[in-house]
Amino acid sequence: MDYSIKNICCIGAGYVGGPSMAVIADKCTNKNINVVDLNKERIDLWNSSNLSNLPIYEPGLKEIIKRRRGKNLFFSTEVKKNIAEADMIFISVNTPTKIKGIGAGEAIDLKWVEASSRQISRYAKGKTIVVEKSTLPVRTAETIKSILNSTITKNKNQSESQEFFILSNPEFLAEGTAINDLENPDRILIGGEDDDAIKALENIYSTWINQDKIIKTDLWSAELSKLIANAFLAQRISSINSISALCEVTGADIKEVANAIGKDTRIGEFFLNSGPGFGGSCFKKDILNLVYICKYYGLYETANYWQNVIEINNWQQKRISNVIINKLFGTVVGKKLSILGFSFKKNTNDTRESPAIKICKNLIEEGAKLNIYDPQVMPKIIERDLNLKESIEFDSSSELGEWKFASSIYESAIDSDALIFLTEWDEFKFINWKKISEKMRDPKWIFDTRSISISKEAQAYGFNIWVIGEGKNLP
Ligand code: UDX
Ligand code: ADP
């Protein structure tokens, strides 16, 4: 097998495929990278001349697209042609939780992985390395392999030279820091059976990543490691969130506790910020999948253990909605509330599994009128997530909950009783408290679910302040 890879195709131009291929193109200017997607609208946005219209907001991404697009990085819907020309194909398609049938609500729906494997089997030519990039259940490579090899068996005569090599190369990037994570990863994991194929992928990464950061394993260990890395990270957040509630009732402060325990190098200081619960496309999906796999193998205690990480996450979101309602005299019917931040974390426009969705839904169900502001999330996405049309004007004669999009922090605060911080966007640290307080109704509240260090100045303008995990919230 020849190590040299000239043409790379990536199936799926999403949050993983787009940024990861952009960085490979930027680091390996001698490789041609074609990112293909069935979604024409998404591809048109990737090709948009106005770089502010890229379908994904990610700091540093625009600059790379500007440097490489049209040179060695191309976005198109031409799946067939680009698969046929590729020496290496990354599969980076959607892998959501199944919503019906066997394993509904837990197992990963592999229909997109299966469809892309079938496309590869139909169009690929010669020796082709197929790389799993999406997070997948352990042993998915087996499925991909049997689909690919079935065509070889079927067309035995015509495809003498056709051969597939499967690698698992899970992506560990976090949204909002994707470019930095791709340029300076903690590690690169490559699982596979064929040494030459592993070497070919390793050669690409070693262009900019130290050899000692590249871990090589068998296929199954690579697939499972990705699920487990996400499960461990999510478990840490549920652990700290469960303690945030304890701090609130005992007078302790979760930030002090996190700092004190994090100084123990065995625990470590990262990923200990309590908040409204984890969101994002991976954590919940991967844990549900882990639970499903454990149950499948009869490991019910293991399944229950991980299921509880999700239970705590759901409870934290419900708990926050209840705190808000209780502090606002037990009812939010007809009250205007300013929601600050809708994405699942800062520096991304992604709202998948964002805690803001459940919290807003709870408040709307209780009759609140929400003015939602987010610097990157578009109103049509909020409409989709809340499954509720945006109101043009609030109907004060109705007790039904509603929502409207606000184009600034200050607009969202008009006549509102509370500012509810749900995402830790940097601009929320620089609020003009005098200006905002004058727009609100008294008594006015701040609910800071992200500990974004609301300035002392806010207190001077008469705000009541509740911060997640702060025992000084005690009455
Ligand atoms: C995660 C993993 O970090 C990444 O390695 C994997 O490839 C994909 O899943 P991502 O979901 O993009 O990345 O973001 P991450 O930074 O992990 O945050 C996930 C959620 O946890 C966010 O809602 C975030 O706000 C929350 N979080 C994170 C906390 O509540 N507290 C923390 O201390 C850290
Ligand atoms: P992720 O966060 O894992 O990148 P996304 O949902 O953002 O997931 O992106 C996955 C992309 O894969 C979508 O844009 C979807 O249209 C694309 N896709 C799914 N199946 C195929 C396929 N068979 N061929 C081409 N593109 C596909």
| Longest pairwise C-alpha distance within the chain | 81
Q: pLDDT for 212-252, tens place per residue?
A: 999 999 999 999 999 999 999 999 999 999 999 999 999 99
Q: Is the minimum distance from the CB of 345 to ligand 1 under 6 angstroms?
A: yes
Q: How far is the CA of 374 from the centre of ligand 2 (A)?
A: 25
Amino acid 1: pLDDT: 53
Amino acid 138: pLDDT: 76
SS3 130: strand
Q: Which two tokens stand for residue 291?
A: 């639970």
Amino acid 47: pLDDT: 98
pLDDT band at 449 (very low <50, low <70, confident <90, very high): very high
Task: Report the chain's C-alpha Rg in angstroms.
Answer: 24
Say whether pLDDT at 349 is over 90: yes
Q: Which two tokens stand for residue 396?
A: 């004060």
Q: Is the minimum distance from the CB of 230 to ligand 1 under 6 angstroms?
A: yes
The pTM for the full model equals 0.94
Q: pLDDT for 366-391, tens place per residue?
A: 999 999 999 999 999 999 999 999 99
| Closest ligand to Cα 14 | 2
Q: How far is the CA of 37 from the centre of ligand 2 (A)?
A: 6
Burial class, 399, CB count within 10 angstroms (exposed 0-12 / middle 13-18 / buried 19+): exposed
| Closest ligand to Cα 123 | 2
Peptide bond into 443 cis (omega under 30): yes
Q: Is the minimum distance from the CB of 280 to ligand 2 under 6 angstroms?
A: no
Amino acid 14: pLDDT: 96
Percentage of the chain lying above the pLDDT 70 cut? 97
- Report the range of poorest mean pLDDT among 286-300, 326-340, 383-397, 459-473: 459-473
